[in-house]
Chain A
Amino acid sequence: MSDSYGTLLSSHLPSVHGPKSESEDPLAIDDPLSSARNSSEGAGDDSWKKFYSANELLNEIKIDLSRLYINSVPPTYFHSSPDRVESIQNILFLSCTLLHPSISYRQGMHELCGLVYYAISEDPSGFPPQHVEAAVWNVFDAVLSTVVSLYDPRTVEQLTEQQERINAKNRVRPKTRPVHTCELIFARLKVIDRPLHDRISSFIPPQLFLLKWLRLLCVREFHVSDSIHIFDNIISSLPSPPPRDTLTNLAYKPLPLVISNLGLALVLEVRDTVMSSDENGLLEALMRYQYPAGGNGRVEGGQYKRVGRQGIDGLFERAEAIGKGNIGGTSTTRQPASTLPVVASSSSSSSSSSLSSSSTTTTTTATTATTTNADGDNGVMNILSKTSSSIMTSMTTIASKVEESKPTWLMGKGGGGSDPFGVEDEGDERDEEDAFVGGGGGTGGGSDATGIFGLSSSPPQPAAPLDHPPPAREDATQSPPSPVETGKAKPKSNTKATLDFLTGGLDSERSTKPRADVFGAFDDDE
């Protein structure tokens, strides 16, 4: 129970009351007002530093969550429900703090997490609400681990400080992992379809479209229900159990083949357009991607047509064929995806269940959502087997249910007459030129009542409040304190070491870099 998600949460989220003291004497906390602290950097406990950087991270996440939208999900789904947003925020915060502190939060992660949240919480079979957050945490972890190299801002090779200094001096910017990853994928295209490769590369670099598609696993390119199928296909094709160190390991790892193949399949899908149109058409095809090609994927106004599960499975079949060098996509030797054992590895029994797989396998577990059987029988179970089995049982349950009842749970939501792009009329004068041109006149007023740009550099607003310690999660009581939990227990127990290790490296530079005075920054180089 102590290792449950709820405990993780309460022990890592910053409290409004300032840093948590590990000692009993409150004064033992590094006191920002203490004069003893001022002169020596790094002396003593850095709880306050951690506290502020945690809040900075939270604020960064909040900025993006306040504008979280997913195709075909009504905007109100997230934005009239503070609880949902807070759950996602908690998950992201924990993930970024515990699992991949060296990468931390990157824009786009919130949408992956939002989609997983939607998939799980909107399950019509009624996923126990108190377990949703913990379940999403587990699934998100698995999803993110597949694409983490597209978020990782570090260079491909770990550089020593000295190398970095030399590079900085010579203005050399070694390739970052996302760019490198995209180039690896694109290099495969050269082998598969040289003319297509050459035509594209003469106009735009591959990361421009590949990052856009793959960072979010195409969430922005497809209808939400199709996105869920895409996630399924990807999760279920991973080895089982998935490597747990993907997120914490510092070494570069290329994308899983299934995603790399998907990227290639998407490019090849628009081959005709790319080869036959001018530069504008080429850019349009790649940057405003539509699947299937031909333009009926996206309807005007940002609504997306559903491709359907078979459509998505077909896409992955072609992707796999392409990956094997079978470009024509003739998959005559292959079984239809639906009957294909999707998990390649050790699982002895059927592993076809995934977030939205056919419902045949798990009707029994459907009735036992919060019990603890069904141990590892299914794809999702295997993927997530490190975590509470009760939660995961529920996962498979909803997984199986999703497909079954999709018409109600997705179509009902996605359709609605509400136009997410509905634009309030914003006044007719769009171009009130000259109203405020040029410097705004007055020279006075450096600091004023609002203080927006006053001179004082106040510290980051503490704790845009999580004004309550997260409630003890109910799941804690229901999760068996079984060995399966050690997967999550591990990050916890190693957290400090991991954090120290990582923050001692590249990250510290960023997180501790003093915010220079507005103009003082340039003085550094003198």
Chain B
Amino acid sequence: MSESKMEDPGGPQSEADVIKVILLGDSAVGKSKLIERYLMDDYNPRQDSTYALTLFRKNVELDDGTSAKVDFWDTAGQERFNSMHPSYYYQAHICILVFDVTRKQTYKQLSEWYRELREYCPEIPCILVANKIDVDYQVTKKNFKFASQHNLPFFFVSAADGTNVVKIFDEAIREGVQYKINGKTDFVTECLELFDDSPLTAANSGDSDGKDGHK
């Protein structure tokens, strides 16, 4: 246990066999609710706002029969303004990006969230989730371009009635495990190829003007 660990903004090393799932999205889109629904399979109509980092752990059985510890990291939706604690992103394996179909603003903010995610975790897989479809199922007929634009797997969910919740977490864990084992998954590689054509790549590499001097 070296002292220098605390100096590392990334935070301490966690156990090697933990899959870290992080959730991102604006305030009140239902991040905590989704976790609660998944972990407890229960929906409590009341939900305090999340005001600090929170961590849930679950032992999950994987497809290959082995089991893994999965940590779900949850935080205040407002934390984007807080330059979220680097430890939040540190060694994450998969991100679930959430917006609320009843509030357009939360959709518009996705690009900000996504940009921040990619700043810290350029490669991890990310799943886009549209929550609160129970309010109006018609919304599922709409086309949300953000997903296709960034080549993100996209799901409609409802933490309130449970629609798709287990599915997206299962999916997330699967992606996370794969990323952990293989580094870049095929899916991510695919994404990155797509990015080659997008302005994001230019922004990410940041060396188009040569000042950074690294590739």
Contact = CB atoms under 8 A, between A and B. Distances in A.
Contacts of B108: 457, 515, 518
B48 to A, nearest CB: 5
Interface in A186-207: 186-187, 198-199, 201-207
A202 B51 contact: no
B52 A215 contact: yes
A446 interface: yes
Contacts, number: 219
A110 B143 contact: no
A442 B51 contact: no
Interface string B13-41: 11100000000000110000000010001
Nearest to A452: B104
Interface stretch (A132-140, A175-183, A234-242, A477-485): A175-183
A428 B51 CA distance: 31
Contact of B11 (A69, A205, A220, A434): A205
A198 B1 CA distance: 6
Contact of B1 (A175, A201, A212, A431): A201
Given A203-B12, A435-B164, A111 B51 contact: yes
Contact of A107 (B13, B49, B166): B49
Contacts of B53: 207-208, 211-212
Decide if the interface of chain A is mainly helix, strand, loop or mixed: loop
Interface in A411-462: 420-421, 423-424, 426-427, 429-446, 448, 450, 452-453, 457, 460
A171 interface: yes
Contact of B55 (A208, A426, A460): A208
B191 to A, nearest CB: 14
A207 B156 CA distance: 33
B47 interface: yes
Contact of B155 (A178, A206, A438): A438
Given A63-B28, A169-B212, A445-B143, A519 B55 contact: no
B161 interface: yes
A525 interface: yes
B144 to A, nearest CB: 7
A430 B162 contact: yes
B111 A519 contact: yes
Contacts of A491: none
B215 interface: no
Interface in B42-79: 42-55, 57, 69, 76-78
Given A110-B49, A202-B12, A212 B167 contact: no
A435 B136 contact: no
Interface string B178-213: 000000000000000000001110110010000110
A207 B55 CA distance: 12
A161 interface: no
A77 B115 CA distance: 40
B117 interface: no
A287 B54 contact: yes
Interface residues of B, number: 84
Contacts of B1: 198-199, 201-202
A180 to B, nearest CB: 11
A67 interface: yes
Given A205-B11, A423-B44, A423-B45, A444 B143 contact: yes
A98 interface: no
A153 B162 contact: no
A423 B133 CA distance: 20
Given A153-B81, A440-B141, A204 B11 contact: yes
A283 interface: yes
B73 to A, nearest CB: 9
Nearest to A525: B203
Interface in B99-142: 101-102, 104-105, 107-108, 110-112, 115, 119, 133, 136-142
A64 interface: yes
B15 A440 contact: no
B27 A421 contact: no
B47 A176 contact: no
A178 B75 CA distance: 14
Contacts of B45: 423-424
Contacts of B41: 430
B111 A518 contact: yes
A252 to B, nearest CB: 15
Nearest to A432: B163
Contacts of A443: 143
B142 A453 contact: yes
A521 interface: yes
A523 interface: yes
A75 B108 CA distance: 32
Nearest to B73: A208
B156 A510 contact: no
Interface string A88-112: 0000000000000000001110110
A470 to B, nearest CB: 25
11 contacts: A107-B51, A175-B9, A204-B11, A208-B55, A432-B161, A437-B164, A440-B156, A442-B143, A446-B143, A457-B108, A519-B145
Given A205-B6, A207-B87, 9 more contacts: A63-B28, A106-B82, A110-B49, A153-B83, A169-B206, A212-B53, A426-B43, A431-B166, A439-B143
Interface of A: 60, 63-64, 67-69, 75, 106-108, 110-111, 153, 169, 171, 173, 175-176, 178-179, 183, 186-187, 198-199, 201-208, 211-212, 215-216, 220, 279-280, 283, 287, 420-421, 423-424, 426-427, 429-446, 448, 450, 452-453, 457, 460, 510, 515-516, 518-519, 521-526
